Copies of this chain bind each other. A is one copy, B any other.
């Protein structure tokens, strides 16, 4: 079985299992307790927090652990803004967590505006600039599109937002950027940045939010006061330690990964466009992380193609798993994809172990599946 839906989730690194055993079975103490063994665990969490912070250019105190990327997005969007009204700008192709929070903010009386994205899912800077004014209190634009891999110029976005509305907070959902691009939240200039463990071979059930020093959030979970009082609950020690253990701090290593991905992506797009000249490629190879390719097939349902592909031993996605069950077509609409192609979206996403041979098998299968489905339709 070839698994090419790594943007939905990744296989957990074997090292995580050992760490989970260590902190679940051997050193299972509650880090909030007062004895020495508990304090040791609390110190280990500190070290893990430091490593994760460093991997995005942040300080330890700027990291709040959550149970998911979605929770990190919720914390950023629903617990940061002080003013009870104002304008909130959100990218037009955001993940459902940010999109749903935007709708909630609208229900709470904020003026929510969606910034249009281009054909490849990148926020159009010119249009964004025209909707930012001094009423803006919050902007949330993803670093990398989970659908197409498009990279937004967050640094430029943060600059233009802060120039027009100095009080505005800038959040970026970095779930699909983390581990795929070198990231430095300080040079990006954001106030908040979300990541998720299970997209980078870590455990499911762990996310984190970078919160710039000096910015105080309201609690998302009230209780014992963990995570600086913002997100109470006994720390998920095993998962925090597991993510820390596999976190890549060296941005050169991440850059090397990025380049490997890009080479594989170029190879795959080249093969796809030759093998399936009718398909639309929704990923701009010149502005995307290399691990994601979005394509659209005419007059086909992505779900059907996915099932046929799986029968042939290749797992690909239809786009965000989080909205896979829903027929909202929010994303194809945002990308301006023609109705004929809107149902036929597929997402191929690699991890660092994916190979050209995997791509070859995937493309060969896809060609057969498309042929079979066309023949079936003709009958």
Checking B16, B21, B35, B307 against A34 with a beta-carbon cut-off of 8 angstroms, the contacting residue is B307
- The verdict on A237 contacting chain B, using a C-beta distance below 8 Å, is yes
The CA of A71 and the CA of B236, in the complex, are separated in Å by: 13
A338 within 8 A of B: no
| Chain A, 332-372, CB within 8 A of any chain B CB | none
Q: Which residues of B have CB within 8 Å of A109?
A: none
Q: Would A33 and B97 be within 8 Å (CB), given that A24-B12, A67-B67, A68-B234 are in contact?
A: no
CB distance from A225 to the nearest CB of B (A): 7
Chain A: how many interface residues by the 8 Å CB criterion? 77
Residues in chain B near residue A30, CB distance under 8 A: 5, 8-9, 321
Chain B residues, CB < 8 A from A223? 70, 73-74, 95-97, 100-101, 322
Q: Which residues of A contact B (CB under 8 A)?
A: 1, 5, 8-12, 14, 16-17, 20-21, 24-25, 28-30, 32-38, 66-71, 73-74, 78, 95-97, 100-101, 103-104, 196, 198, 203-207, 219, 221-226, 232-239, 303, 306-307, 309-310, 315, 317-318, 320-326
- The 18 listed contacts between A and B (C-beta, < 8 Å) are A5-B35, A9-B28, A11-B28, A12-B28, A17-B21, A20-B20, A30-B321, A32-B322, A33-B317, A66-B67, A74-B222, A97-B233, A196-B234, A204-B234, A204-B235, A205-B205, A232-B322, A234-B321
A205 close to B67 (CB less than 8 A): yes
- Beyond A33-B324, A68-B233, 12 additional contacts (C-beta under 8 Å) are A5-B35, A8-B29, A29-B315, A32-B322, A36-B307, A68-B221, A70-B222, A74-B223, A95-B223, A96-B224, A203-B238, A234-B322
